[in-house]
Structure 1
Amino acid sequence: MPEALPVALMVLVAGTAGLLGWRHWHYRSFWPIVGFPLVAIHIRATWRRVALGCGLTKKRQRWWFTTVPSLIASTGIVRVRRRFQRVAVDTKPSMGIPMPTRFGWRVTLHTLEGQIPEDYAQAAERLAHSWGIHAVRATSPRPGRVVLTATVRDPLVEVNDSPLSVELLKVAVGRLETGRPWEIDFRTVPHWLNAGATQSGKSNLANVLLIGLAPQPVALVGFDLKGGVEFTPYAPRLSALATSRAESVSLLDDLVALMASRMDLCRTSGVRNVWQLGSAVRPVPIVVLIDELAELYLMADKSEKDQIAKTSTAMLRVAQLGRAFGIYLFLSGQRIGSDLGVSVTALRAQCSGRICHRVNDPETAAMTLGDLDPSALISARAIPAETPGVAVVAGQDGRWSRARSFFVSQQAAEHAALTHAALAPSWAEITAGA
């Protein structure tokens, strides 16, 4: 018997080391086979006290056996008897079977009377701390149900290289916190608002987008109000580039005229948008990239008032009507606030795609995400400075998610622009007849 103890100890140590090595070197297979079953048991076993601690239980009347005092004997001993009566009991929300995900797990809860999904969203941080995991998200697929999606560890710490885009006007620009690709699809969400402070990853996202669109048969148009320092290196792939307000006004006039021309073409052909036209007559799609959006609306003196009014009107017309006629917007800026004017607020309303990186002021985050989901605003304000590329993303369905863009160097973006320069259609050819 004593001789067996060292052997058992060695087997235990070897098994533990093997499991730790498996977990370290191939976590993707370790998690569903070993890690998740243990976590699922822990979740189910602790759900009652976790729900009670997070304020998710409700008092309900239940028939229960209780002990009540009966008689006091001569010795002073109190005799008790069991009684079947209704008492108030803390009832937890009913929990379904936890299911594994790539970076954690999800489980469906049946809400109790008087509860709404917002109650679970407010308790999400407390739930994450109770279970010792990275984060918990609460969503509601239908009334009376809440789905908790738990992330055991942050999937955005390291993001791999971007895959090639194979669909027109769709680019995989990063990864969502669920582990799925983060895709910008202009056919589904035509206009995007991209806000972020310096070194937040805002410009890197534009680089990723340019690399994804460069090999596609689309026209890229740039507005660079930094004097051209951002987009000039990509000029070989751009069909047009405006680097000043005067050039921006002229280029926007071209876009409005082009949109009117395509409108006439669709009306003559009896279709509602350019995608219903035959491939032989369908005009080339145009993606408009704008850097430092606020520069289009800032006024130094009254002499610029007319230019700003003309610019804002043209921009709003393109945003309102451009989708049907193959013109899409990707608007970037450090500062996007209501103080820039009502035109910016109206323009924001046309952008169903929202991306908020780390920002310097709460109003920019509120302008970008505040009208979608308050919890998205809180998440955006919590993005740390040491995680460039991390952003809160919201689509036209109103749902939001944390995401991180792939890192693309400026040299890689310049190389893509040069490599695919032959695919850039001439702006004169595009606007001919407009």
Structure 2
Amino acid sequence: MTWLLVALVLVVAAAGLLRWRRPAWYWLTFGVALASLRVLVRYGSVMDACGLTVPAPRWRLALARMTDRPVPRPRAPRILRVRPTRTGLVLRLKLRPGQDAFDVAASADRLRHSFGMYGVTSRELRSGVVELRMTGYDVLRRVQMPSLAADSRPMRVPVALREDGSVHYRDYRAVPHALTLGATESGKSVYQRNLVAGLAPLDVALVGIDCKQGVELFPLARRFSALADNPDTAAEILDALVSHMEDVYRLIRSHQAISVSVPDAEIAADIWDLPEDIRPVPIVVLVDEVAELALFANKEQEKRRDRIITALVRLAQLGRAAGIYLEICGQRFGSELGKGITMLRAQLTGRTAHRVND
């Protein structure tokens, strides 16, 4: 009994030390088993307390009255699967008739407290099926990206870790243009560097525009095909990109080979429909601070500003099919930046918001 007590004390001390110093290791060794047991034991009472149950069917109530049996208890969503992950648990639920996915999402904070987890997020997979992603510790305190297999989909790179432990991907084929907003020291530069690091191994040309004299992008200059550190050079690069876009469209048109036997869905309309040996290299344009391109102090700078904004709007409207993708960063992106700026903003489908001042 003495040796058993000593071993138990050592295990408890090791678990406490791991939870304090290495929460990821604690979760994989002790936390996942304890959390799974806690969720399964408390599940029925927690769902009832959170208002996520429905009364038993009328036929069961009538049968209970006829046979003088106890009234059936309210029914909670049925558990389809419990899957442990390296950061938490994934609980897949089948909703009962009359329940809604919004009710589960509204109860996420109460579920987090009741199950003793660090965080709980909810999303609807399909009609009547909801997935709860629970994290056992703060995955953003010490970010460790999981080892990822090579993605077969082109122009899709892992960028960051979400608060639920899943990986955030930047998929240029699905969302060609994006806007990243955030105040100073909010994380825009780190996000941008991670994006460059993810794009670096791919067969893609990078074009950077950093009007803060290049302090953000010039440390990565070896990977860029073109890099501007002032508005004058930026205007020349954007004009060259517009000219390149027109050449690509002429190339696509010359290789469409449309005939009466070609289905409408197979008509070549962008660079990804071209044969690989003639397909142009896709281009990602990174703008570090868009306000520096939109501000002006005199008539000459105003003409340059209109030239830059016009080129950006044309690339945003027409560049996707030519393989030109925009990644624009800024502290704010309002109409006070001048004419044409809201037209550009409307084309930026992807939105990433860091801490903003207003």
Distance 2:121 2:91 in 1: 11
Distance 2:281 2:320 in 1: 13
Q: Which amino acid aligns with 2:47?
A: A
Query: Whose strand proportion is higher, 1 or 2?
Result: 1
Q: Which residue of 1 aligns with 2:215?
A: 229
Q: Secondary structure at the match of 2:122?
A: strand
CA separation of 1:233 and 1:59: change in aligned 2, threshold 3 A: same
Q: Which amino acid aligns with 2:133?
A: T
CA separation of 1:233 and 1:65: change in aligned 2, threshold 3 A: closer
CA separation of 1:204 and 1:37: change in aligned 2, threshold 3 A: closer
| 1:268 aligned onto 2:254 | yes
Q: Which residue of 2 aligns with 1:184?
A: 170
Q: Secondary structure at the match of 1:141?
A: strand
| 1:295 aligned onto 2:292 | yes
Q: CA deviation at 1:138?
A: 0.6
| 1:331 aligned onto 2:328 | yes
Q: What is the alpha-carbon root mean square deviation over aligned residues?
A: 3.8
Q: Which amino acid aligns with 2:121?
A: R
Q: Which residue of 2 aligns with 1:318?
A: 315
Q: Secondary structure at the match of 1:198?
A: coil
* Contact 2:53 2:75 survives alignment (8 Å): yes
Distance 1:143 1:40 in 2: 26
CA separation of 1:163 and 1:7: change in aligned 2, threshold 3 A: closer
Q: Secondary structure at the match of 2:311?
A: helix
* Contact 2:27 2:136 survives alignment (8 Å): no
CA separation of 1:293 and 1:51: change in aligned 2, threshold 3 A: same
* Contact 2:120 2:134 survives alignment (8 Å): yes
Distance 1:164 1:47 in 2: 33
* Contact 1:297 1:340 survives alignment (8 Å): yes
| 1:139 aligned onto 2:120 | no
Q: Secondary structure at the match of 1:208?
A: helix
Q: What TM-score does the superposition give when structure 1 sets the normalisation length?
A: 0.66
Out of 36, 39, 42, which is 2:38 matched to? 42
* Contact 1:51 1:57 survives alignment (8 Å): yes
Q: CA deviation at 1:288?
A: 0.8
Q: Which amino acid aligns with 1:175?
A: L
Q: Secondary structure at the match of 2:321?
A: helix
CA separation of 1:343 and 1:136: change in aligned 2, threshold 3 A: farther
CA separation of 1:216 and 1:101: change in aligned 2, threshold 3 A: closer
Distance 2:77 2:150 in 1: 44
Q: CA deviation at 1:137?
A: 0.8
Distance 1:256 1:13 in 2: 69
Q: Which residue of 1 aligns with 2:61?
A: 63
Structure 2 stretches of 5 or more lacking a match?
257-267
CA separation of 1:277 and 1:59: change in aligned 2, threshold 3 A: closer
Larger Rg computed on CA atoms: 1
Pick which of 126-135 and 141-150 moved more.
126-135
Distance 1:217 1:353 in 2: 22
Distance 1:353 1:27 in 2: 33
Distance 2:192 2:91 in 1: 36
Aligned residues: 343
| 1:193 aligned onto 2:191 | no
Out of 95, 117, 128, which is 1:111 matched to? 95
Q: Which amino acid aligns with 1:186?
A: Y
Q: Which amino acid aligns with 1:118?
A: F
Q: What TM-score does the superposition give when structure 2 sets the normalisation length?
A: 0.78
Distance 1:152 1:243 in 2: 44
Q: CA deviation at 1:327?
A: 1.2
Q: CA deviation at 1:155?
A: 1.5
* Contact 1:108 1:146 survives alignment (8 Å): yes
Query: What per-residue deviation string (whole Å, max 9, x for no partner) do you get for residues 264-301 of structure 1?
Result: 11101214222343444333322211011233334557
Q: CA deviation at 1:140?
A: 0.7
Distance 2:11 2:218 in 1: 59
Q: Secondary structure at the match of 1:92?
A: coil
* Contact 1:162 1:174 survives alignment (8 Å): no
Pick which of 222-231 and 321-330 moved more.
222-231
Identity %: 40
* Contact 2:207 2:283 survives alignment (8 Å): yes
1:25-424 correspondence to structure 2 within 5 Å? 31=27, 34-59=30-55, 63=61, 84=68, 90-160=74-144, 169-214=155-200, 216-270=202-256, 271-298=268-295, 307-337=304-334, 339-340=336-337, 343-361=340-358
Q: CA deviation at 1:172?
A: 3.6
* Contact 1:64 1:84 survives alignment (8 Å): no
Pick which of 235-244 and 316-325 moved more.
235-244
Distance 2:254 2:79 in 1: 58
Q: Secondary structure at the match of 1:221?
A: strand
Q: CA deviation at 1:103?
A: 1.1
Q: CA deviation at 1:124?
A: 1.0
CA separation of 1:23 and 1:236: change in aligned 2, threshold 3 A: closer
Q: CA deviation at 1:131?
A: 1.9
